[in-house]
Structure 1
Amino acid sequence: MTMELAGAHWFKSSRSGAGKECVEVAFLPGGRVGVRDSKNPDGPALVFGDGEWASFTADIGKGAFDE
């Protein structure tokens, strides 16, 4: 894990519950956003640029990933 991620303040998504879909997010320097599995905090994390994160969250709001 990089130092940038090691010092990050992670928080769970409001959509995460007691089940298996546990996601944590951290707002990082330079407008980047980290995303990781809360059950595996030492595992891999995705890091999005600010434009990528804005596009992703806008698509979520439009229901682009609804099943």
Structure 2
Amino acid sequence: MKKTSWWVKVGRLLGCWRIVVSLLFGVAICYMLWQMGTEMPTWKRIAFAGCEASIVSGSLGWLLHQW
């Protein structure tokens, strides 16, 4: 088993933090849209929820691909 270089470990850590930040950002956007969505028609709320779900699933897919 080869020893992992320190810069590879740092890169993985940064990638992990990038995912955490993007998920938090996604949740914040979702919350803002949900607050606005209380005054929106239902179809717009569904569209926003679908967009948010695609962002989160894309982030998770990227994270799994990194490991």
TM-score range, shorter chain: under 0.3
More helix by share: 2
More strand by share: 1
TM-score by length of 1: 0.26
TM-score by length of 2: 0.26
